[in-house]
Structure 1
């Protein structure tokens, strides 16, 4: 850890122990900006428990104005945060990306309560989240020593907040479903840290919007492909494991819902062919 990170860590510990309140003369937004700049710290306590945990508290407790939240959202989505070294092979960069997307989720959740973001901004968020979802290849969950990365799960959290915004229409929801399908259907990593559960939550809330027809939902499910002729045997095996895990999670999530019986039946048919 750098000297600056150590200083920030001690300051944030004090704030957490003070019921997340600042001392007189301190400014929530100024410190929020400093926290965002350090959100990719390799110290899991600083990154996850302190920076993310305190931002969660402050955003949910309305410590920031709407205009300040817009600034924090723009920073979280920029090339130095959500897209930080996305196409490089620096494995530690994922922590900054994966925790920046969690801040996006927090701000969209606050928007759903306070309605302070324009449709134009929400569509920009949607486009950037889908771009990130489709292009992030570091999908490790828990990393020894360094803690959670969990980019697929964290992005699903942000998309889940987004699909509950009423401005998005059927086409938008299908775009988001397709990004989930793409992230499920990978062969270069096998999900082991309940990523499927987080991605299923997005799908469930898309279905809850009641904008998609039965045929559109069934068609989306039938597009899952467990084999790619360009893949090796083991790659196709990993692809199958990921798809089966996701479909099973979706099956049990919807099992008790009366209006989801046709989805359950379709999932059973697909699983029986795998």
Structure 2
């Protein structure tokens, strides 16, 4: 490639636009190669920064964005070595989710994705949150992984997109529930992102009864685990994480003065599970 990423970052927007219009392919290919680089400077301060500036200043054509989506939805990006824990593959997956988030937000205004493409990304995103096992946030010496948080942000962007159909809410709720059972208690405000997802579903018109049923199922899972496996480490972490989420969810509902029946159900279960029985 004639220009390296730091060279392009040093250009003005007008210069970048001319360069992209001339031939975007080698630039985008180079950026995709470095999307999950373990060096934070290359991955975030150069590569991600350039991508965000391309999006912010609308320097990419619709075909460029289509190309990026076609690459990022491949297994070698979004699902790269999914199931691994504590390996560097998390950066490939987490940054793919982040890039797709910004592309979905861009699509909300420009509508460059077909409904089938949108639905494919929605399916990939819900399965990603369910399957991702690496829950790390900041990794010393390598920077932010944030796979769960980025996956949640992608789901939020998808819900906020005009193409989203509220009838597709069930897999999203299931993916959030799965995040409570990853053997960890989140420490980087992930539960607030989960609450944002449900608030977005509420704004889209999800039925209160469906959310009540979901909350009951979340706590049914805890009861089943306790009865079948006792006070295992997995159960205890799931209980703590569930309560962290539900407390945040309860106050979000209360402050917005919405869904009083759901508020009562959430409050009831919080009181029931506050102490280990």
TM-score by length of structure 1 reads 0.88
1:115 matched to 2:111: yes
1:1-274 → structure 2 map (5 Å cutoff): 11-18=4-11, 22=15, 26-27=19-20, 28-88=24-84, 91-183=87-179, 185-210=180-205, 212-225=206-219, 226-227=222-223, 228=225, 229-230=228-229, 233-274=232-273
SS at 1:70 equivalent: helix
How many residue pairs were aligned?
265
In structure 2, relative to structure 1, the CA distance for the partners of 1:88 and 1:238 (3 Å cut) is closer
CA shift for structure 1 position 265? 2.2
In structure 2, relative to structure 1, the CA distance for the partners of 1:24 and 1:236 (3 Å cut) is closer
Structure 1 residues not aligned, in runs of 5+? none
RMSD between superposed Cα atoms in Å: 2.3
Once the two structures are superposed, residues 5-30 of structure 1 have per-residue CA deviations (whole angstroms, 9 ceiling, x without a partner) of: xx99xx43444444566468633553
Once the two structures are superposed, residues 63-102 of structure 1 have per-residue CA deviations (whole angstroms, 9 ceiling, x without a partner) of: 1111110110111111111111114567110101100111
| Whole-angstrom distance in 2 between the partners of 1:23 and 1:218 | 50
Is the Cα contact below 8 Å between 2:208 and 2:259 reproduced in 1?
no
Mean Cα deviation higher: 96-105 or 190-199? 190-199
In structure 2, relative to structure 1, the CA distance for the partners of 1:119 and 1:140 (3 Å cut) is same
Structure 2 residues not aligned, in runs of 5+? none
Is the Cα contact below 8 Å between 1:187 and 1:236 reproduced in 2?
no
| Whole-angstrom distance in 2 between the partners of 1:89 and 1:260 | 38
Mean Cα deviation higher: 18-27 or 99-108? 18-27
CA shift for structure 1 position 205? 0.4
Is the Cα contact below 8 Å between 1:60 and 1:110 reproduced in 2?
no
| Whole-angstrom distance in 1 between the partners of 2:202 and 2:247 | 17
In structure 2, relative to structure 1, the CA distance for the partners of 1:104 and 1:13 (3 Å cut) is same
Mean Cα deviation higher: 120-129 or 221-230? 221-230
In structure 2, relative to structure 1, the CA distance for the partners of 1:155 and 1:231 (3 Å cut) is farther
In structure 2, relative to structure 1, the CA distance for the partners of 1:169 and 1:222 (3 Å cut) is same
CA shift for structure 1 position 104? 0.6
